[in-house]
Chains A and B, each alone.
Chain A
Amino acid sequence: MSGSARLAPEVQYATLEQQGDTAQLGMWVFLVNETIFFGALIFAYFLYRMTYPHEFAAAARDTVLWCGSLNFVLLLTSSLTMVLAINAAAQDENPRRMMIWLVVTVALGSAFLVVKGYEYYLDYQDKVVPVVHFESKPGEGSAGELFWMFYWVGTGLHAVHLTVGIALVLYMLLWRIRRGEIGPTYYAPLEVVGIYWSFVDTVWLFLFPSIYLLGRS
């Protein structure tokens, strides 16, 4: 199955190594860009949090803490399994171990989405969906709705990113690896996906404390 030996670099590259390096640089640059994207949201969130500290704290107490924490654990673990998959790709000629770890990663990522979906359902029942289904709770004032705006936009965008991540891993599993294009000689594509995956994880590392934990005592 060592199809990677047959791989040739694209025309603009001299070697596969250069191609892999370049792909990684591309992903890092992209992530700088993504960081600023989420950074802008988190910045605005903290700005409002400073303007309405009491209202935001009151509203934050209505978030479903166990869902957020469980997801935190799920996602951290998935980053670990992702790294293990990349290690396996670098070491084993046989893709089995890599594929197993990738399947676990996909499973963990999907579990995150399921928990998140259930949490959204609970949120709906709790009437905290602005405009659509909303009831102001005591202590929140009108700014409570702003908090929930940020909650939905932030977690929603994160979920979209995670979905893209899952799709990328599936693409690796079902296409690149099956065609024997990932192996010890060349596994840069998988590394690139891995970098992206840890980024999505890191975003949750920021969102979770800022949304769920802050102001809860």
Chain B
Amino acid sequence: MSTTTFGRVPAVEPGAATEPSYLTSENTIVSWLFTRDHKRIALLFFVSITFFFFVGGGAATLMRMNLATPEGLLQPALYNRMFTMHGIIMVWFFLIPSIPTTFGNFFIPMMIGARDLAFPRVNLLSWYVFNLSGFVVLYALIMGGADTGWTFYTPLSTVYANGYVFAAAMAVFINGFSSIMTALNFVVTIHRLRAPGMTWMRLPLFVWAIYAVSVVMLTATPVLAMDTFLLAVERFIGIGLFDPRHGGDPLLWQHMFWFYSHPAVYIMILPAMGVASEIIPCYARRPVFGYAGMTIALMSIAILSFFVWAHHMFVAGISIYSGIVFSLATFFVAVPSAIKVFNWTVSLHKGRITFDAPMLYALGFVLLFTMGGVTGLMLATLAVDVDVHGTYFVIAHFHYIMVGATVSAFFGALHYWWPKMTGRLYPEMWARFAAILTYVGFNLTFFPQFVLGYLGMPRRSYTYPAEWQSWNLLSSAGASILAVAYLLPLFYLGWSVFWGRKAGANPWGATGLEWLTPSPPPKHNFERTPAVRLGPYSYDPESDSFVTQEGTRHVR
């Protein structure tokens, strides 16, 4: 249905002097702050979200310090504000934007052979709106933070809490616009700006994943926007849409919140699935197993994710029959995830596997995602959820998926595409070490929390009975290993920008269009319009060769 013509005839003829790279073409501050180049905007986003990751991580550090002893080291009020801000910042200011706004922004146009996103100004505006919301959330944090949990349950948040709930809710509200703008840009770009020959079934799975995630963002985020808007109004003037004393219904807030936030958890995992689907074939040197199945799975997760929200409310006082319906729907949405896990695993079969850092992160992703997923199924089982809801079991479940899986995929993507983005190779040994350390530290931190959860430790508690200290101590110890594993790349990647070996156009021998152009890419991505002839993963392990999407065969 769409026009798939590629952009104007390039200014530079093939064979003529190459354009300067996007990094060096202009170098004033203004040229960065007002850039419309998707690659530069991606880097701007990268700086912002990395900052917020460490702010959220700082809060986590304080929390784990506090929980190392049963009595706790922090004031209760401080602890409560810390986990609330940790949740808010990690979810909306790091994880939701993380992969889409950085690697999506940078590579979607390149992977479909376009010269930019459809609306470059909207893209830049999205970054400014993101930072505006970031300032508001930092304001809320510095003034003392909110203390409602990231879920803002009413009437606690509207009437009883006395932190900066209004500011925090407004930050989330504004942040939503940034999500929406970015998602809109991706949807339109993927529909309209694909290079000649780039049909839907030739799109790399990362593009499919970002497409799926953008559709979810576009349809779910406005509900959150309305929800937080009503919350802010209620908090501000005190009339209770969500307050039973005024005839309001506190559960309405939860319905609207989860109507957004359940799809939002898939917003956080789908891009990571896309990343894994790029990395695994590249390092296994064979096509991904079941390309069509993978795309169907992505889209069905996106659609089904809208029908399961009340599984967060099994014990909240919804009718038991809707509980049953939502449990069934939750099992259905897990089926496509199962397809993906099996397909990734079988994608190793008959490969020529090397274990570079991106691959280690990707394998870690699959294992931790499976672990988080099967515990998700336990939560979806009604009777078990009645027991473990609101305990550390839930905390462990979602950290396995969000931190174990998605953050690992984020680091995998960072290493995989680092040479393309900067033109430099990272030090391989350090990177492998960091990947393994992440895996070990992660399991040490969060596995004990499953046990704690089933023992009955309530989440959001600054203090706990002494008999649970051993597990908590283990978790805190793991968290410090994890912190090291997350800080390490900061140093060696930073080092590599200046002193790393120069990377060629295609250091990994990968097939995607993004590897056809020099590293770092020129300002308008390609010197010549790519003409796509093949699907994305034409690796042949038997002869150890690969064919790019333009159809040239390379033997390694």
Contact = CB atoms under 8 A, between A and B. Distances in A.
Interface of A: 9-15, 18, 21-22, 25-26, 29-30, 32-34, 36-41, 44, 47-48, 51-52, 130-132, 141-143, 145-146, 149, 153
Interface stretch (B66-74, B83-91, B234-242, B322-330): B234-242
A14 B196 CA distance: 12
Contacts of A153: 229-230, 233
Given A21-B3, A142-B247, A153-B233, A44 B241 contact: yes
A44 B252 contact: yes
Contacts of A40: 222-223, 226-227, 256
Nearest to A153: B233
B118 A29 contact: no
Contact of A29 (B3, B187, B524): B187
Given A12-B114, A44-B256, A22 B188 contact: yes
A contact patch SS:
helix
Given A12-B115, A12-B116, A34-B222, A47 B246 contact: no
B120 A14 contact: no
Contacts of A131: 237-239
What 8 A-B pairs come out closest when comparing CB atoms?
A37-B222, A40-B226, A12-B116, A36-B222, A14-B5, A143-B247, A22-B192, A130-B239
A113 to B, nearest CB: 21
A21 B189 CA distance: 12
A146 B118 contact: no
Contacts of B192: 18, 21-22, 25
Given A21-B3, A26-B184, A36-B219, 20 more contacts: A11-B116, A11-B524, A12-B109, A14-B8, A15-B5, A21-B192, A22-B192, A25-B191, A32-B219, A33-B180, A33-B218, A37-B226, A39-B222, A47-B252, A51-B249, A131-B237, A145-B246, A146-B241, A146-B248, A149-B241
A87 to B, nearest CB: 25
A5 B216 CA distance: 39
B117 interface: yes
Interface of B: 3, 5-8, 109, 114-120, 180, 184, 187-188, 191-193, 218-219, 221-223, 225-227, 229-230, 233, 237-241, 246-249, 252, 256, 524
Given A12-B115, A14-B5, A143-B247, A130 B237 contact: yes
Contacts of B117: 12
A57 to B, nearest CB: 15
14 contacts: A12-B114, A12-B118, A13-B8, A14-B3, A14-B5, A18-B192, A34-B222, A36-B219, A36-B223, A51-B247, A131-B239, A145-B246, A146-B240, A149-B233
Nearest to B246: A142
Contacts of B119: 26
Contacts of A130: 237, 239
Nearest to B256: A40
A26 B118 contact: yes
A37 B115 CA distance: 32
A191 to B, nearest CB: 15
Contacts of B8: 9, 11, 13-14
A146 B239 contact: yes
B428 to A, nearest CB: 35
B305 to A, nearest CB: 15
A78 B7 CA distance: 37
Contacts of A34: 222
B223 A14 contact: no
B13 to A, nearest CB: 16
Nearest to A152: B233
Contacts of A22: 118, 188, 192-193
